[in-house]
Amino acid sequence: SPDIGSNKLSQSYAKQLGIGFAVIDKRRSAHNKSEVAYLVGDIESRHVLIIDDMIDTAGTISNAAKVAREKGALSVVVAATHGVLSGDAVKRLSSDDIDKVILSDTVKISKEKRFKKLTVVSSASIFAETINRIHTGESVSELFGEDHE
């Protein structure tokens, strides 16, 4: 988890995937600027997956990836639902600290913002299934697993 705010969601993912969990606490020193306060968890000699809901300037993500590498992570993959990618985001995500970035297509990513490490995945099927379940009266929450709140 790149910050305490996404802690609960990241713990749910870790449980579903059967993997370990670590959290990096950040402190905001100004708007769109964050600094890592501390890391809780052992990531030495491990492959790290950083999951967040949105990447705007990528400051939090790039700081988290840097700390992960400094603490001995073998690789760092970043995944987020919404890739706003403003300011220096592409430059930060292209750093040597990050091996791969996975974003959904909920925000259009222009050609200028696409880079070698970026993979964009379609969200069409999850939206289609959600709409179908709403119309048929089926559970939407089951799409996201029993632990999702």
Listing DSSP states for 32-64 in one string gives: TEEEEEEEES--TTSEEEEEEEEESS-HHHHHH
pLDDT value for 98 = 99
By CB atoms closer than 10 A (0-12, 13-18, 19+), residue 78 is buried
The model's pLDDT over 1-41, given as tens digits with 9 standing for 90+, comes to 566 667 777 788 888 889 988 888 766 666 656 666 678 88
Please give the class, per CATH, of domain 4-122. Answer: alpha beta
User: Of the residues 26, 33, 66, 116, which is catalytic?
Assistant: 26
Region 59-72: mean pLDDT is: 93
The model's pLDDT over 106-124, given as tens digits with 9 standing for 90+, comes to 999 999 999 999 999 999 9
CA distance 97 to 91: 12
* pTM confidence score: 0.85
Is 71 annotated in the active site?
no
Listed by start position, the domains of the chain span: 4-122
